[in-house]
Amino acid sequence: MCKNRLAISCLALLVGFVSNLTAQEANKISCAGKVINAESEPIAGAKVMLYEMGIDPAIFKVELKQSDEMITKADGAFRFTVEASQSTTRAMALIVAERKGLALGWANWELKEDIEVEIKLDQAKILAGMVVDEVDNPVVGAEVRVLVLLMGEAPRPRYLIGVEPVDLLLTMTNEQGKFSFNNIPGDATAEFLVKKPGRATISTFDPSGGTTLHYAPGQTDIKLVMPVEARIEGIVVEKARGKPVGGIRLIVMQGQNQPLFGREPVTSKEDGTFVINALSPGKHIVRFVPKQEKIADWVAQPVEVTLEGGETRTGVKVELSTGGVVEVTVTELDDNTPVEKANVSVTHIATNEGFDRVTDKEGIARIRLAPGEYKLTRVYKSDYQYERQDKTFAVEDGKTSNVSVQLRGYPKITGTVRDEKGKPVAGAKIKVCPLGRGETTSDEEGRFEVRREAPQWAQDVVPYVVARHFERNLAAAVEIGEDTKKVEVKLIDGVVFFGKVVDIEGKPIEGAKVYLTFWSSGYGSSMPRKEITTDAHGYFEVKTVPPWHQYSVNASADGYGQDYARVHADDAENNRLEVGSITLALANLSISGVVVDVDDKPVANARVFCSGRGQSDRSIQTDAEGKFTIDKVCAGRVRLSVNTTGTTRLYGSIETEGGATNVRVVVSERSSTTRYVPKQAPSLVGRPLPELKGLKIYISPANVSDKMILVCFWDINQRPSRYCIRQLAKQAEQLKQKGVTIVAVQASKVDESALNEWAKKQNIPFPVGTVEDDVEKTKFIWGVHSLPWLILTDRKHIISSSGFAVAELSKKIETIIQKQD
């Protein structure tokens, strides 16, 4: 199957991170939930809809089918029951709730087990804008969909797909080309899909953006450009005979093999002809889509077409051939047994086009390919160590190539779960903690099979098989060794942890989520768990805890950070242990700033991660100017970690505080040393310039009388700072003619002789001082948020600008001159 790797990973985001699962016996599963308001009170009269989701990865398409619907009563409760999925891939459902005047709410359900959820309908925000054509005229009657809404952070983001039949996220542009959605949650981000006959179909979803979406509620000035459509008209033929072929599915990719999300494939007619319309100008790639049920009958080389706006390109030919076949055989290293349902990926070396297939019962993946040189790039199955072997092979017309690869499975542990009377226990949830490879459930005879990781770095880690039966409050944790292959688990009465979740004023927090982490040898691991939330008084009980071990009780809540309490089950009395209060800080602050490289250039599309004790783990992506704002941050210290993807990966980190602004993170090819940036002082713009005391600088009053003063705080150890000083040195004479006196202040502890030597070598013509005492306190007094930091005064020494770039200096000086002359 022909796929674009990056696009598939993004499509996986939309459908819940597609992965292989073991098929299970048919049974009924349920989602029980409650619709609540911002105060966690039940909402009556809410409409709740169940949509079962399907995916066709060959054409990058998500399909939804509404299978149930109900209206909540006074208790806000709802329940949906479906057949558990029999699929080997993850089957998902969306549960969407609406009530007039409130924002939409939703939950995601993996159709393999019972779940309990709460869907909060909060105050709605507006997301609005307009659709214009290529000359900025409004486009009337365009269909605008919110293609996807996303809330929350990895690893458990919540997404809502806005394709048919979810018409709650559909509107049309009015006579002014404007559109508006008034049911968007304030915490969500969004992408759009815009269609109109005669116009190019526009999708704002960028496959390279990962889990970052472009648009946020509250934006009302969004502009979506919808040019006149371009078209491709062509024919599908057999390459050998030139005979037209009907019934062939084709998809079109744009740019660098990016999928056009929201676009249906086209199928060639009986005479082989096809038409692809509603295209934007630019480069497009037409690809053949083989059937997925078996090995394809045909292969075809992709056809590249570059279109002008409004152009119709005719005569495009897609040529089919039988090509050759590669058979990739996957076996297990230990016993050479076939590995069924392993994902195999191969790539065409010249075009970098990727093809995927899943192995059959014989462990063989058969892929029909066009002649050429290929490499085996990936073989993967859950519970096996990831294999990336760049084995190369050639494909020839009419021939079959054979490639073999072996996977090393993670150590397998089998066993039986019994109660104290020796009877098998069915339905116990089991996982290896730590170093576990997923969770399993004991069968009717109490039997189970789990796998564990065995990395070299974890030789001193002692793992346990942890089993919990929530309905009977039975639990156990059995130590296993490196060579353990079979274990008997005897369940006993579980310990109960209880406590309270409160805010910083000691007031209870209702609806906080509570879960356990199991600790062994200094490593923590999530346990088999059941969702627990605090009641109206902030109280919680965590039952079914295996005795004799150490845990952390973790708590988080919407609008707050997260925290934990460390406890040991040995301290329990009568199988109960009071945890005490877990305090969560209000997440009502933000952090904003910019990411730059070592040349002080902004870095777009960098991922910024926020973490710290008491903080919720959050992330966001920088915009085109390298800027970012992370909302819902708590007061206190925060660590920001930044990385980029691509050919050259950049890294950087910084420590700051909730509420900080103008944070500057410098990234480089190797991770930089983390530094601390305190919460910034208020801006000094409009205030007199502070005295130069404590900066080891003396300037004669005659040299600054009736002159502008430019102060540059910098750090000789930072390349952007050195660049700034050299730029000022080049402009020094010109600035002097304009009446500007320059002062540089080294804002970190350095060897002064080395500093003076550098300044002399670089011919720096202005005074260079250093901070004598507390660097951070001095920076706070001067309002310095990051380095380098420029401060410019007018001729009366009132600060007119602060924290700007060197490139902006001339314009700011001219503004002062115009005002004071």
Percent of the chain whose predicted confidence (pLDDT) is above 70: 90
Residues in the chain: 821
- Nearest by Cα to 419 from 411, 408, 428: 428
pLDDT of residue 128: 94
Beta bridge partner(s), residue 125: 184
* Res 690: pLDDT: 87
Helix/strand/coil for 205: coil
Would you say 14 and 262 are in contact if contact means Cβ atoms under 8 Å apart? no
393, pLDDT greater than 70: yes
Provide the mean pLDDT of the chain.
85
665: helix, coil or strand? strand
pLDDT in tens, 490-524: 999 999 999 999 998 899 999 888 989 898 887 88
Q: Give the whole-angstrom CA distance, residue 415 versus residue 433.
A: 16
Q: Which residues contact 73 (CB under 8 A, 6 or more apart)?
A: 44
Distance CA 170, CA 181 (A): 8
Report the DSSP pairing between strands 273-279 and 299-300: unpaired
Identify the structural domains of the chain with CATH numbers, from first to last.
2-120 (2.60.40.1120), 124-225 (2.60.40.1120), 230-321 (2.60.40.10), 324-407 (2.60.40.10), 410-582 (2.60.40.10), 589-676 (2.60.40.1120), 701-820 (3.40.30.10)
The Cα–Cα gap between 477 and 47 comes to 43
pTM across the whole model: 0.57
Identify the pLDDT of residue 476: 93
What residue has token string 């491709």?
Answer: 232
CA gap 515, 524 in Å, rounded = 13
pLDDT score for 178: 96
Per-residue confidence (pLDDT) for residue 545, from 0 to 100: 92
Q: Residue 333: what pLDDT?
A: 84
Res 682: pLDDT: 63
Q: What is the pLDDT of residue 7?
A: 42
Asked if residue 84 has pLDDT above 50, the reply is yes
* pLDDT 10s digits, 184-208: 998 888 999 999 999 999 998 875 5
Is the distance from CB of 500 to CB of 537 less than 8 angstroms? Answer: yes
Taking 70 as the threshold, does the pLDDT of residue 736 lie above it? yes
Instruction: Report how far apart, in Å, the C-alpha atoms of 27 and of each of 89, 247, 334, 426, 449 are.
Output: 17, 38, 34, 15, 20
Q: Is the pLDDT of residue 679 over 50?
A: yes
Average pLDDT of the segment spanning 718-725: 82
Q: In which band, very low, low, confident or very high, does the pLDDT at 229 lie, cut at 50, 70 and 90?
A: very high
> What is the C-alpha separation between 788 and 781, in angstroms, rounded?
16
Rounded CA gap, 521 and 387, in Å?
Answer: 29
Q: Is the peptide bond before 434 cis (omega within 30 degrees of 0)?
A: yes
SS3 for 254-274, per residue?
ECCCEECCCCCCEECCCCCEE
Mean pLDDT of 744-760: 87
Give the list of residues 6+ apart from residue 341 with CB closer than 8 angstroms, or none.
20, 88, 358, 359, 381
d(CA 511, CA 3): 42
What pLDDT was estimated at residue 24?
A: 35
Would the pLDDT of 22 be above 50? no
Token reading at 118:
């709460």
* pLDDT band, very low/low/confident/very high, at 3 (cuts 50, 70, 90): very low
Q: What is the pLDDT of residue 318?
A: 95
Given a contact cutoff of 8 angstroms between Cβ atoms, the answer to whether 202 and 224 are in contact is: yes
DSSP collapsed to 3 states, 397-437: CCCEEEEEEEECECCEEEEEEECCCCCECCCCEEEEECCEC
> With helix as H, strand as E and coil as C, how does 101-133 read?
CECCEEEEEECCCCEEEEEECCEEEEEEEEEEC
- Which strands, in side-by-side order, build the sheet including 740-746? 768-770, 740-746, 708-714, 789-793, 799-802
Distance CA(804)–CA(790), nearest Å, equals 6
Q: 470 Cβ partners below 8 Å, 6+ apart?
A: 429, 530, 543, 544
Q: Give pLDDT, residue 644.
A: 82
Q: What is the model's pLDDT at position 25?
A: 37
Judged by average pLDDT, the poorest of 344-348, 433-437, 637-641 is 433-437
Taking the C-alpha atoms of residue 214 and residue 60, their distance in angstroms, rounded to an integer, is 20
Asked if residues 803 and 724 have their Cβ atoms less than 8 Å apart, the reply is no
Which residues neighbour 702 within 8 Å (Cβ) at sequence distance 6 or greater? none
**Residue 605 pLDDT class (50, 70, 90 cuts):** confident
Contact criterion met (CB below 8 Å) for 138 and 132: yes
Strand 28-36 versus strand 789-793 pairing type: unpaired
What pLDDT was estimated at residue 20? 34
Per-residue pLDDT tens over the stretch 31-44? 888 999 888 889 99
What's 153's DSSP letter?
-
Contact 238, 321 (CB under 8 A): yes
pLDDT digits (tens, 9 = 90+) for 93-122: 899 999 999 999 999 888 877 788 889 998
Q: Read off the pLDDT of residues 625-672 as tens digits, 9 standing for 90 and up.
A: 889 888 888 988 888 888 887 667 788 888 888 888 888 998 887 654
